[in-house]
Amino acid sequence: MSTYLGGVFDDALPEGRAAATITVWRHGVEARLEAGKVYTIRSEVLRLERGGSTGRMLFIRGQDPRLTLFSEAPGLLEEIGTTSGLEARNAVATLTAEVAKTRRATLSLWLIAAAVLVVLGLVTPPLFRVAVDGAVGQLPLSLDVKLGDLASSEITSFGPAITDERAAGLATEILERLRPHLPPDIAALDLKITVIESAEVNAFALPGGRMAVLSGLLKRADDVNMVAAVFAHELMHVRHRHGIRALVQSAGVLALVSVVFGDATGIVALLAQGGVLATLTHYGREHESQADLDGVALTAAAGFDPAGMPAFFRKLKEIAPSSEVQEALSWMSSHPSHEERIAAIEALIPSLTRGEDPPMNHTLEAARAALRGE
């Protein structure tokens, strides 16, 4: 025996209605108010009707016209059909037949809508790409910053920020060395990096240039060139506005759907249940290769050893199988290190001119000591 959430319409109640829990018995359907009052509609007089905004609301009525029980909880109708007396079962059968009929009508409506979508889908992909590029081009860079700000509070969900100068200073120094080699509008952004205490080997950049590196990455990297490679890769996501591009892409599909259905907000909201960071930092494969190739060029221009990037990818592969900590895999799972990716990066490296490599004020060794609490 289960209980179902629902409610009661009763003229005698002060508000005319109240929430109730509904139970099905052999002798009838019972609704219990929180205040303790109990209503019972006996099986032999029970009438059922579907309705409400969604069409899934079940109305249960008896002889008293002033009393209606209602519930949208799944399974209630089935339970009335199996538990209640014969008359109630007949009522369920009648309703089920009616519902099946309207469902067929609704289904054909959906099929028409789906057909329209398929046709639109066949025509649109080539146009779609152009449209996304055009749309992103139209959006001001300040929008990236705003989006990044909105998501930035989630950064700390990974762990506390590390303020020790040896670690935070190293991250900032690497970032600042890369900055002058970015296009002017990106270099002018409020680029900032936070070191977050976490065993995960991960780093990410939000639209607008707010970045985070998890301390696991600093612990696992062999040298500063590997760290710089990851930062440069992430900066290229910022530079090419991949986060907002991903959003416009998904929004574009939704726009299509919404044209067909005359609706936007809701479908969007339905898809919106995922986390903010996941949305903004989940890029397509194309975006990843772009970030790799432009990123490795950036490291070279800033005087880091470009070999740090392929080396880091190999390092990830090497850590992964032996690691007992599943988290160590996280940058890898968001950045699958395919052999082709490494090959593409290595093919580019010989053509790169490496900039001047001034001595660093911070060292990875000192940062590591700070992370160990020494």
Partner 1 sequence: MESEILSRPAFAHLKVRLNPGETITAESGAMASMTTTTRLTARFNGGFFGAVLRKIFGGESLFVNDITCAVGGNASAEVILTQPTPGDMIALTLTGNSLFLQSGAYVASTGEVKLSVGWAGFGSLLGGEGLFRLKVSGTGTVWIGGYGAITPREIQEELIVDSGHLIAFEPTIKIRSGLAGGLFSSFFGGEGIVMKVTGPGRIYLQTRNIEGLASWTNSFL
Q: In the complex, which residues of this chain contact partner 1 (CB under 8 A)?
A: 5, 7, 9, 16-19, 34, 51-55, 57, 59, 68, 70, 72, 106, 109, 139, 143, 146-147, 150-151, 247-248, 250-251, 254-255, 258-259, 261-276, 279-280
Shortest distance, position 5 Cβ to Zn ion, whole Å: 44
Contact (Cβ atoms closer than 8 angstroms) between residue 69 and residue 60: yes
For Zn ion, which stretch binds (CB under 5 A), given 9-17, 104-112, 245-253, 283-291?
283-291
Q: How far is CA 9 from CA 55, 72, 300, 301, 358, in A?
A: 18, 14, 73, 73, 78
Q: Given the complex with Zn ion, which of 46 and 238 has the nearer CB atom?
A: 238
For Zn ion, which stretch binds (CB under 5 A), given 57-65, 109-117, 142-150, 289-297?
289-297
What's the rounded Cα separation, in Å, for the pair 315 and 221? 8
Helix (H) or strand (E) holding 17: strand 17-24
Residue position matching structure tokens 């990455």: 217
- Residue 325 interaction partner, one of Zn ion, partner 1, none, beta carbon < 5-8 Å per kind: none
Size of the site for Zn ion (CB under 5 A): 2
What's the rounded Cα separation, in Å, for the pair 242 and 281? 8
What's the rounded Cα separation, in Å, for the pair 75 and 288? 46
For Zn ion, which stretch binds (CB under 5 A), given 270-278, 285-293, 336-344, 357-365?
285-293
Q: How far is CA 320 from the centre of its chain?
A: 25
- Residue 264 interaction partner, one of Zn ion, partner 1, none, beta carbon < 5-8 Å per kind: partner 1
Shortest distance, position 316 Cβ to partner 1, whole Å: 28
Shortest distance, position 148 Cβ to partner 1, whole Å: 12
What's the rounded Cα separation, in Å, for the pair 327 and 320? 9
Q: Given the complex with partner 1, which of 20 and 301 has the nearer CB atom?
A: 20
- Residue 203 interaction partner, one of partner 1, Zn ion, none, beta carbon < 5-8 Å per kind: none
Q: Given the complex with Zn ion, which of 76 and 291 has the nearer CB atom?
A: 291
- Residue 17 interaction partner, one of Zn ion, partner 1, none, beta carbon < 5-8 Å per kind: partner 1
Shortest distance, position 156 Cβ to partner 1, whole Å: 13
Q: Given the complex with partner 1, which of 33 and 45 has the nearer CB atom?
A: 33
Q: Given the complex with Zn ion, which of 7 and 207 has the nearer CB atom?
A: 207
Shortest distance, position 83 Cβ to partner 1, whole Å: 24
- Residue 333 interaction partner, one of Zn ion, partner 1, none, beta carbon < 5-8 Å per kind: none
Shortest distance, position 278 Cβ to partner 1, whole Å: 9
User: How many other CB atoms are there within 10 angstroms of residue 226's CB atom?
Assistant: 26
- Residue 170 interaction partner, one of Zn ion, partner 1, none, beta carbon < 5-8 Å per kind: none
Q: Is 345 helix (H, G, I), strand (E, B) or coil?
A: helix
Q: What is the 3-state secondary structure (H, E, C) of 153-178?
A: CCHHHHCCEECCHHHHHHHHHHHHHH
- Residue 122 interaction partner, one of Zn ion, partner 1, none, beta carbon < 5-8 Å per kind: none
Q: Given the complex with Zn ion, which of 88 and 246 has the nearer CB atom?
A: 246
Shortest distance, position 295 Cβ to Zn ion, whole Å: 8
Shortest distance, position 153 Cβ to partner 1, whole Å: 8
What's the rounded Cα separation, in Å, for the pair 77 and 359? 75
Per DSSP, what are the bridge partners of residue 109?
none
Contacts of 328 (CB under 8 A, 6+ apart): 199, 200, 201, 216, 220, 319, 320
DSSP 78-110: HHHHHHS-HHHHHHHHHHHHHHHHHHHHHHHHH
DSSP 276-317: HHHHHT---HHHHHHHHHHHHHHHHHTTS-TTHHHHHHHHHH
Shortest distance, position 52 Cβ to partner 1, whole Å: 5
Q: Which residues bind Zn ion (CB under 5 A)?
A: 288, 291
